[in-house]
């Protein structure tokens, strides 16, 4: 699964400069671009969007930059990503995918260049024609990467050159692309009484606010901002739509949420205690507070972060978004049900046909194993609730009455619907069925297998699970995305009409045979029950 959890190991390679690179005065620095002559766009790389979270700002909310130009030109030539960490089950999948042992893949990933705490930066890709017009009217697409909130970066999903090229071919305006870093693992998602939870969410929001304030200097329209994300990035978007329980507007106008991933078994107390226990073991001192963590050197913190994350059970990462009573007063699923969200956002959402296959143990082939797995996955659920889920919501009936005919397929359906897919149906329902939803069924249909399509750049040999990218499907998906960013409606010339979700739960399905219209498989009583159970605190 080389693209599992938006984790890709791809890197951005700039084309040689063939003309003078432009600069932008941001008030706090002058930032220079590189020129991509093949794609006819400028790349402003590693632009700071906040003060860097080091020293006294470590484990604090992001702080805005002060506008004081120092006259120097920053060209963003240094690779920059936030500190990375990987659970053992991800290392095993990656080792298998690349044909090496787990120790080797762990060493490779741990030594990735560019890892730093000073990582609150973003990339801006601007078509040359847009920048040279000096008119702030171009729509903007901001990408939030996935990676389980413990890995990934602004370039880990791939280059947006293909998306930019499709926008240049359209009858509408071109598109500016922005990709962001945000703090990961312990650095961005540690929660406890002496630390602000969900720092990574605040990072993301500050990046969006940076776009609102500065994108006009690149030719972008701050009132035409679409945020798009996959997996952890997609669930982040749901949290921004429902941020502060809807009391504060989302800092964007449109959203594309692709395979939103949720961890419902994060125990903040357990993870906090585990972090301090690991810190004590690593340092051979008694570490009992975040203030003490804050004083440790970066190499030590990196070791602590990895040792906590590596212990996560399959399908989880130990760190991630938690309810905090402020930005996240309740889970998005509940806030959507209660109507507590920004109703003005225009939404497009998607899920994969086999989301959870890489996330669940292959041993889930018996009813007893499924019960044990579900109990550990939903620690808040009582034995009575677990029994109801397995007897009534997802009954052990394998005769084709339900969408499963084996115990493993039953387990996969449970994990897919609860942890990923049902949330896209909740978005549609909350927005009065006026969203645009699609399902990506092209084999294998695993979580994040659509990333090579979203970021397709013409290389059909780019493969996941042995299947080459279908160029026709890739261009269709990119054209729908670009059209949505441009107009709020994913309609493109020569393509199948993309229906509104509507009362019929209409979706587009990207299949092996092409793009077809269909009915959402998530408009089912199981998803309805899950959302209501969340609202009642049963799971």
Candidates 3.30.360.10, 1.10.1060.10, 3.40.50.1820, 3.40.50.720; CATH matching 4-535: 3.40.50.1820
The encoded tokens of residue 325 equal: 């009573």
Residue pLDDT, tens place only, 69-85: 666 778 888 889 999 99
537 burial via Cβ count (<10 Å: 0-12, 13-18, 19+): exposed
DSSP string, 501-522: -TTTTEEEEEETTEEEEEE-TT
Least confident segment among 12-26, 270-284, 519-533 = 12-26
pTM over 0.75: yes
**Residue 444 pLDDT > 50:** yes
Determine what percent of the chain is predicted with pLDDT higher than 90.
Answer: 88
Residue 192 · residue 279 · CB < 8 Å: no
Quote the radius of gyration of the chain (alpha carbons, Å). 22
**Residue 350 pLDDT > 70:** yes
Question: Residue 466 has what pLDDT?
Answer: 61
Residue pLDDT, tens place only, 121-169: 999 999 999 999 989 999 999 999 999 999 999 999 999 999 999 999 9
Question: Residue 19 has what pLDDT?
Answer: 64
- CB neighbours (10 Å) of residue 103? 10
Distance CA(124)–CA(106), nearest Å, equals: 31
> Any idea what DSSP says for residue 258?
E
Q: Which residues are catalytic?
A: 231, 355
Distance CA(331)–CA(351), nearest Å, equals: 19
**Residue 7 pLDDT > 50:** no
**Residue 6 pLDDT > 70:** no
């Amino acid at each position: 699964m080389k693209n599992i959890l938006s984790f890709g190991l791809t890197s951005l390679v700039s084309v040689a400069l063939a003309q003078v690179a432009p600069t932008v005065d941001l008030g706090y620095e002058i930032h220079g671009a590189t020129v991509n002559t093949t794609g006819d766009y400028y790349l402003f790389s590693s632009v700071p969007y906040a003060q860097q979270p080091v020293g006294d700002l470590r484990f604090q909310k992001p702080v805005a930059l002060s506008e004081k130009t120092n006259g120097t030109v920053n060209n963003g030539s240094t690779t920059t990503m936030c500190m990375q960490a990987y659970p053992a089950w991800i290392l095993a999948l990656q080792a298998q995918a690349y044909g090496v042992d787990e120790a080797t893949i762990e060493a490779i990933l741990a030594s990735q260049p560019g890892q730093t705490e000073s990582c609150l930066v973003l990339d801006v890709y601007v078509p040359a024609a847009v920048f040279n017009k000096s008119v702030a009217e171009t729509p903007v697409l901001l990408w939030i990467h996935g990676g389980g909130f413990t890995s990934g970066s602004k370039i880990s999903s791939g280059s947006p050159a293909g998306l930019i090229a499709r926008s240049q071919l359209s009858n509408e305006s071109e598109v500016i692309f922005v990709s962001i870093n945000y703090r990961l693992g312990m650095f961005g998602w540690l929660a406890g009484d002496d630390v602000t939870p969900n720092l990574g969410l605040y990072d993301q929001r500050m990046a969006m606010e940076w776009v609102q304030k500065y994108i006009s200097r690149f030719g972008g329209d701050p009132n035409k901002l679409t945020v798009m994300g996959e997996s952890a990035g997609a669930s982040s978007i749901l949290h921004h739509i429902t941020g502060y329980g809807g009391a504060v507007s989302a800092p964007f106008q449109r959203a594309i949420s692709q395979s939103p991933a949720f961890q419902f078994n994060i125990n903040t107390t357990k993870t906090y205690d585990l972090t301090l226990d690991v810190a004590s073991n690593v340092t051979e001192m008694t570490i009992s507070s975040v203030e003490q963590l804050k004083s440790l050197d970066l190499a030590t913190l990196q070791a602590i972060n990895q040792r906590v994350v590596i212990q996560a059970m399959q399908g989880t990462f130990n760190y991630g978004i938690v309810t905090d009573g402020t930005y996240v007063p309740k889970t998005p699923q509940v806030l959507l049900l209660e109507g507590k969200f920004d109703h003005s956002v225009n939404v497009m959402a998607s899920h994969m046909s086999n989301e959870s296959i890489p996330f669940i143990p292959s041993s889930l082939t018996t009813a007893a194993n499924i019960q044990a797995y579900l109990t550990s996955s939903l620690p808040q659920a009582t034995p009575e609730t677990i029994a109801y889920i397995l007897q009534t919501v997802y009954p052990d009936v394998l005769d084709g009455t339900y969408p499963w005919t084996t115990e493993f397929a039953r387990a996969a359906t449970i994990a897919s619907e609860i942890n990923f897919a049902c949330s896209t149906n909740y978005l549609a329902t909350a927005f009065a069925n006026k969203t645009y939803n699609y399902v990506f069924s092209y084999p294998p249909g695993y979580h994040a297998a659509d990333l090579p399509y979203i970021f397709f750049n013409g290389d059909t040999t780019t493969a996941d699970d042995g299947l080459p990218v279908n160029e026709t499907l890739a261009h269709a998906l990119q054209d729908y995305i670009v059209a949505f960013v441009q107009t709020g409606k994913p309609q493109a010339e020569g393509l199948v009409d993309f229906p509104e979700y509507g009362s019929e739960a209409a979706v587009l399905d990207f299949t092996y045979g092409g793009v077809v219209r269909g009915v959402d498989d998530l408009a089912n009583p199981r998803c309805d029950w899950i959302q209501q159970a969340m609202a009642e605190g049963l799971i």
